[in-house]
Amino acid sequence: MKTFAVAAAAVLLFTGTAQAEPAHVAHASGKFEKYSETAKAVTYDEKVPSGAKVLVLGVPTISGGTTVILTLKGLLPHRAYGAHVHVNKCGKEPAAAGPHFQHVADPKQPSVDPAYANPHNEIWLDVHTDGNGFAYTSSTVDWQFTDRHAQSVVVHNEHTHTKPGEAGTAGPRLACVNVAF
């Protein structure tokens, strides 16, 4: 948790907190658990064990961008996971979170076109856990949430693919955390 506090302070120090409406700081934390209507963080697969912890911080930057920090603790050790910001809240089924949030939406969904499904138009948060199942990452894009807001971060089975026809895909959805971006 100390690492997160230092990272969050650094983001605030170097990006500032000045914001034009409706951009705001988004924060979510919790322990992954089986779905319930009150769950903040939901696990759908044992690759994200119940009780594992998650923390997400989204900060609008002075320059008009957004930085998102993802911290995970208690996942499987020495393992790659993909993670992305999604349009809907978590639900009983993994698909409930909907597609990735795209700054410029691909008219064809699900989006696998690298012109839309890329880390500049979406927020990608791929991680690799250490020997204790801990992972930390951040992503900065040059846009902010305005009239459309994302609602969750989904953890996927593998790192994000980038080739045409599979761009943005990262395997099955393993877990989801609600975040009001």
**pTM (whole model) above 0.85:** yes
Helix (H, G, I), strand (E, B) or coil at 3: helix
Joined together, the tokens standing for residue 157 give: 């089975």
Q: What is the pLDDT of residues 5-62, one digit of tens each?
A: 445 544 444 444 444 455 899 999 999 999 999 999 999 999 999 999 999 999 999 9
Q: Which pLDDT score is estimated for 6?
A: 43
Q: What is the pLDDT of residues 106-122, one digit of tens each?
A: 999 999 999 999 999 99
Could you tell me the domains of the chain? 2-178 (2.60.40.200)
Joined together, the tokens standing for residue 7 give: 């990272």
Compute, in degrees rounded to 10, the torsion defined by CA atoms 110, 114, 116, 120. 130
Q: What is the pLDDT of residues 55-105, one digit of tens each?
A: 999 999 999 999 999 999 999 999 999 999 999 999 999 999 999 999 999
Q: What is the pLDDT of residues 131-153, one digit of tens each?
A: 999 999 999 999 999 889 999 99
Q: How far apart are CA 76 and CA 179, in angstroms?
A: 23
Radius of gyration over alpha carbons of the chain, in Å?
Answer: 15
Cα dihedral sign for 153, 158, 160, 161? negative
Q: Which residue has the tokens 């807001």?
A: 149
What are the C-alpha distances in Å from 143 to residues 19, 65, 109, 154?
12, 4, 21, 20
